[in-house]
Chains A and B, each alone.
Chain A
Amino acid sequence: MPDKPIEGEKRVFMTGNEVVAWAALVAGADIMYGYPITPQNEIMHYWTRLAPKFGREFLQTEDELSAGFTTIGGVLAGRKAFTATAGPGNTLMQEPMSMAEAMRLPTVVVIQQRGGPSTATVIYSQQEVTMTTLGGNGEGLRIVYSTANHQELFDYTIKAFNTAWKYRFPTFVLGDGYQAKMRESLTIYDPASRGIELVEAEPFLGKPGVPGVDRPPTQLRNTYNVEEELYEVLEGYFKDYEKIAPEVAEHEAFGLEDADLVVVSHGVVSRACKAAVKELREGGIKVGYFRPITLRPLPVDAIRETASKARQFLVVESANGQLARLLKEVAYGCPVEMLSLFKPGVGITAEDVVSRVKEIAG
């Protein structure tokens, strides 16, 4: 059995779903649990082809509830476990992931967003932002990376496992149907060759020694008898989350120094926004580009600073304001005017963004 899935690095040309399977392999994922749904199916397909060559496992479950709960089971046993889903599958996934929040379990879930609500389209959208960041009956104690290209899909899938196991919050990689199905180039690599250290997994249950004597007892709860007890636990979680948020939050920006209007987007749409802002700036129109990479936690300080300097935000997304709502909460009290280009469930091109900016500029 070959030792490492990738030696050194190599440039490849493949679909995003294949990228995710490779990234999970090199990140040391032990097992994938999954239930088929378009457009993430090929993550499972590629994983089931690759995994046996490297001693990894796969289990197909009867639905996404089960895929989520078995992922939790894998994690409890000390295995790096992950699943992938989309759309209505993501809806079902919220129940197990809220349990992962309650128990602070390092589950990793890859979402390839499709159109909504309900079955809608199997193609593409950015309409699973609210659900992925804040879904379930909880408080959004999770980490969400929104990727824009295949290189990031690879980089952040590796990172998701590390973030999850380091901080012990459920972690999501938020892609979409376009990223899932398109082919473009990227460099895949052995994380060690880039100095990336993989965080070790360890079992939550069945640790050696007598609980309370040799080691503190493991207490994993998602049920509480009294309100105060729950409150106390959650207060602790919020403190932990607030502490790690600035370390975890990431963003990308340019052209902010002289911009009246800043184009804000995330994920695949930011590719169009980046091209549009570059073109507009070359044409002498002073616009800026801002993109949160983590949608949960958001890069709060950077957003507030930008929202204090710029006069207008143009929020661009393939949803009806799901990113905009998150931004408005963070930028509350900043004098920035919020403008929008929303195309729910439909792709957005650089031409769309350029013409909207010109329309605003008058």
Chain B
Amino acid sequence: MAKAVKILLAGEGGQGVQSVAEIIAEAANEEGREALYIPNFGVEQRGGVSIAYLQIGDEPIGAPKFQIGDIVIALSDRAVHRTRQYVGPQTLFVYDSSIEGIEDALPTQAKRILPIPAIEVSNNELHPRVFNIVIMGAVIKATGVISVEEAKRAIEKKLGYKFEKNPRLRELNFRALERGMELVAQAI
């Protein structure tokens, strides 16, 4: 039996890494798969790098946290530094290509390093607020842990009340999801 896929998302507070992890975990659960999501938390109320540990598989998940991720996604300068330790020879390391001055901090042992212009795409083509949905698209394309349909259902479940008022938001979010998937598809 295949082992669970281990996903680590890291970014600044407000980038939405926790909500992305939660939506993917819930979507996987809805598909009847085993999912476990745990945020990092500490005494600080703000200012730390926000990390989400997410595991999805077909058998009950073991330890809640892990040392090496199958995919590690870093969305800020500090997140790149903070997540190096979770990268091993089999890890796909994804980071936002707009982050500057981190060339020396990029992990050297990763299986593959994938810069994607998620911030640029969400700011210029979509809306800064759907940045996390772009990332969600990137994660599901890179890992295949949930289907696009289930991802959309999960977004609908989470944000449906907002879509009721403004149906264009639905379109925007679904477009963001697809763009995130395309970014990874192009990079690979």
Contacts and interface: CB of A to CB of B under 8 A. Distances in A.
B62 interface: yes
A272 B36 contact: no
Interface stretch (B39-47, B116-124, B135-143, B174-182): B39-47
Interface in A264-295: 268-269, 271-272, 274-276
B6 to A, nearest CB: 10
Which of B22, B34, B64 counts the most chain A CB atoms within 10 A? Answer: B64
A271 B25 contact: no
Interface string A37-53: 01100000000000000
Which of A13, A38, A179 counts the most chain B CB atoms within 10 A? Answer: A13
Nearest to B39: A181
Contact of A347 (B35, B41, B63): B63
B152 interface: no
Contacts of B25: 13, 183
B60 A149 contact: yes
Contacts of B42: 121-123
B64 A268 contact: yes
A122 B41 contact: yes
A35 interface: no
A349 B36 CA distance: 14
Contact of B64 (A38, A178, A276): A178
B1 to A, nearest CB: 10
A60 interface: no
A347 B64 contact: yes
A181 B41 contact: yes
Given A13-B26, A274-B62, A181 B38 contact: yes
Contact of B62 (A13, A39, A275): A275
A272 B63 CA distance: 5
Contacts of A184: 34-37, 61
Contacts, number: 70
Which of A181, A183, A350 counts the most chain B CB atoms within 10 A? Answer: A183
A13 B64 contact: no
B29 interface: yes
Given A13-B29, A183-B36, A183-B38, A271 B66 contact: no
Contact of A271 (B29, B37, B62): B62
B63 A182 contact: no
A182 B41 contact: no
A348 interface: yes
B63 A185 contact: no
Contacts of A252: none
Contacts of A13: 25-26, 29, 35
A121 B35 CA distance: 26
Given A122-B41, A185-B29, A350 B34 contact: no
B65 interface: yes
Contacts of A269: 63
A271 B42 CA distance: 23
Nearest to A119: B43
B67 A182 contact: no
A182 B64 contact: yes
A275 B40 CA distance: 23
Contact of B43 (A122, A149, A185, A274): A122
Contacts of B43: 38, 121-122
A123 B41 CA distance: 7
Contacts of B61: 184, 271
B29 A350 contact: no
A351 interface: yes
Interface string A155-192: 00000000000000000000001110111110000000
A185 B65 CA distance: 16
Contacts of A348: 63
B41 A39 contact: yes
Contacts of B67: 349, 351
Given A181-B39, A183-B38, A185-B34, 20 more contacts: A13-B25, A122-B41, A122-B42, A122-B43, A149-B60, A178-B64, A179-B64, A181-B38, A183-B22, A183-B26, A183-B35, A183-B37, A184-B36, A271-B60, A271-B62, A275-B63, A347-B63, A348-B63, A349-B63, A349-B66
Interface of B: 22, 25-26, 29, 34-43, 60-68
25 contacts: A13-B26, A13-B29, A122-B41, A122-B42, A178-B38, A178-B65, A179-B64, A182-B36, A182-B37, A182-B38, A182-B64, A184-B35, A184-B37, A185-B34, A268-B64, A271-B61, A272-B62, A274-B62, A275-B62, A347-B63, A347-B64, A348-B63, A349-B62, A349-B65, A351-B67
